[in-house]
Structure 1
């Protein structure tokens, strides 16, 4: 119980620190978001509305900074992330709500597929080291060192331009009506195949190499030798004894990967013009949309924290020693 209480206190403090940084950093950046908005809509927004806009964006200079700080926390507790500058007057929460499912669906599923396949292949390669399976190691090492955007460009050139099998950009066909219908779902899967393939190919190699190295290390432990001496089936020893302990570091890495799923593979979404949260973040940065950047950073931070909480729980269940040491 002490283990979970300590971890809970740690994550509460971390969340508070993240929200505090998220409040102060945009206010320390150069430039004035309100003036940027006025210059963008010059002639359409009354200059006398500057004060109202500053109040709307939580930048009222008449309020002391500490009061703005507590007002910001109050807005967060009510789910108010502010108003987007580039899409004024659309709320930030609405923009994130439209983009987040695309990133979670694409990057999330691709990350899970890469983790599962990479971990299973890593177990087999590590357990059967010194055999013909080792021929896959140079290939995995090569893909682990190749930038994922380079793989994306090659996939577009080969399967999109030369063969014409898949579209070059977009999230779904403009000819279909969005909704829970087979035409839209099939179009989404068709358009997301190349981005998903890019993510799986570029990330699976790391999971394979990491799991293989852990299996090689764990397979020389005494409890594995004893299990083999008892005459247990090889598959039971490989999965129930060696893999169960070797997978612990993979769990931590997988939790971090799931946390960063929300940020999306930013360059990948840019290459494929995929309307995920990473693509929105790049647009917000280019247009100095501070409220949208704040909202996206906050969502990313809390996603990482939640993923780490789940990793701690799974880690404690798989390895009781962590609870005892705590």
Structure 2
């Protein structure tokens, strides 16, 4: 019961954060429409605030527009908004799964056995943490597309070509996602593994581990116990690192032409020529919709990870320390 109450507190706290974040975003987007030329992408629900509109009216209008999107989604370039959400969700899930599995494996080996694995993880972590994901994407484009021609570089063109020729399948989607997923995983993997390595090193010197070693327990069993001890703290790190993954995903979608939320956000706020100069044109409802869905992704991730923390941490008595 204590842990169930703690999970309820986690959900309530993150719901409040989600609502406040959406409120701030609505204020910014609502005020911007008064100054920036509208860019209508296909059929959208228009909301033109008048000059004398109150702040509450502006924000309320965009919350209302988002609800209309959910109940009767429009189309952008003859694509339903749900397809943008699905593509981003698939990219996000694949990235998270590989990051967690490979990061835990490398970090556990580096922290427990040390040696070469420890040296590689410790050297690569600060190097790749300083590199933006788009730079790694360019390197992978050069290696795996231009030089080796192993994987496609344009997601939408690959899917469209397979659909026209009748060869579209699940493997087509997975093959088209290899480079973007590989880019996101490789850019964040070493920092993940390094954090796990540090957690394992700290736990390895604990009395309970030394006692297990003295008892002659198999290494595999000791490592599993270490992983169980370090996993809750790693889940916490994953929660707060999730926004970094979302930000990198937006750029990767544009780079590899994946019509996901990041791509939709980019084209909803666009540089355009106005007379002899330049200005901005955007579709505010779509911009708000994409932002809201990304925040929802973060909300779900935070609730799941923090909830798992309570149930996986053997030292947790229901309240998070």
Q: TM-score, normalised by structure 2?
A: 0.80
CA deviation map 1:97-137 (0-9, x unaligned): 121211221232022112211111110110012x3433423
Which of 297, 306, 316 in structure 2 is aligned with 1:321? Answer: 316
The SS at the match of 2:269 is helix
- The aligned runs of 1:56-205 (5 Å cut-off) are 56-57=46-47, 59=49, 64-67=54-57, 69-70=59-60, 73=63, 80=70, 90=75, 95-129=80-114, 131-137=115-121, 138-171=123-156, 172-177=158-163, 183-205=168-190
1:272 lines up with 2:256 in the alignment: yes
1:29: which partner in 2?
Answer: 32
CA deviation map 1:151-197 (0-9, x unaligned): 2111111221123233332332432228xx86332322222221122
CA deviation map 1:221-253 (0-9, x unaligned): 11111222222211111111x221222221023
Cα RMSD for the two superposed structures: 3.4
- Unmatched 5+ stretches in structure 1: 42-52, 84-88
Task: Say how many residue pairs are matched.
Answer: 303
Q: Which runs of 4+ in 1 moved over 6 A?
A: none
Whether the aligned pair in 1 keeps the contact of 2:30 and 2:62 (CA below 8 Å) is no
1:303 lines up with 2:297 in the alignment: yes
Q: Distance in 1 between matches of 2:251 and 2:287?
A: 17
Structure number with larger C-alpha Rg? 1
Q: TM-score, normalised by structure 1?
A: 0.79
From the superposition, tell whether residues 122 and 249 of structure 1 become closer, same or farther in structure 2 (CA, over 3 Å): same
From the superposition, tell whether residues 103 and 264 of structure 1 become closer, same or farther in structure 2 (CA, over 3 Å): farther
More strand by share: 2
Q: CA deviation at 1:220?
A: 0.7
From the superposition, tell whether residues 106 and 74 of structure 1 become closer, same or farther in structure 2 (CA, over 3 Å): closer
- Unmatched 5+ stretches in structure 2: 271-280
From the superposition, tell whether residues 22 and 58 of structure 1 become closer, same or farther in structure 2 (CA, over 3 Å): farther
